[in-house]
Amino acid sequence: MAKKVMKKIKLQIPAGKATPAPPVGTVLGPVGINLQEFCTKFNDATKDKIGDVAPVEITVYEDRSFDFVVKTPPTSFLIKKYAKINSGSATGSKDIVGTLTHDQIREIAEIKMPDLNAYTIEDAIKIVEGTAINMGVKIG
């Protein structure tokens, strides 16, 4: 018999650096799962991505057990990383804060492909380009 799902939780945690302290502890503590067990499993699953932000979707079951799925880093995080900027533009495409090449956009799209609502790499590139433009990053 399948376990009954009690709750689904989405978090963004630095890869390989989860601790029972906030924000992890304040979100997962009330649902009653073992925080240290989650942190250990998460850190093991993301140790090869240290330095990135790792979105995670946690499914908590009624018996207090859990499963989690680690997603790809947010598109905005990858754009900032590749463009070597600290933040996007406050005014969107009116204020240019960085530049990315077409090859860098393609690389970001390939990383994001499993989590994007796109069937082809060209569609994924359009999604990433749109995000970059809205962040004030020029593509050239």
Does residue 13 sit in the same domain as residue 53? yes
- Domain span at residue 29? 5-70
Q: What's the CA gap between 107 and 95, in Å, rounded?
A: 24
Specify the CATH number for the domain of residue 65: 3.30.1550.10
Query: pLDDT tens digits for 95-116?
Result: 899 999 999 999 999 999 999 9
Q: What's the CA gap between 102 and 107, in Å, rounded?
A: 9
Task: State which residues of the chain have pLDDT below 70.
Answer: 1
Does residue 48 sit in the same domain as residue 102? no
Q: What pLDDT score does 35 carry?
A: 92
Q: Within 10 A of 61 (CB to CB), how many other CB atoms are there?
A: 16
Q: Indicate the residue among 21, 42, 70 that finishes a domain.
A: 70
Does residue 31 sit in the same domain as residue 66? yes
Task: Give the chain's domain count.
Answer: 2
Specify the CATH number for the domain of residue 100: 1.10.10.250
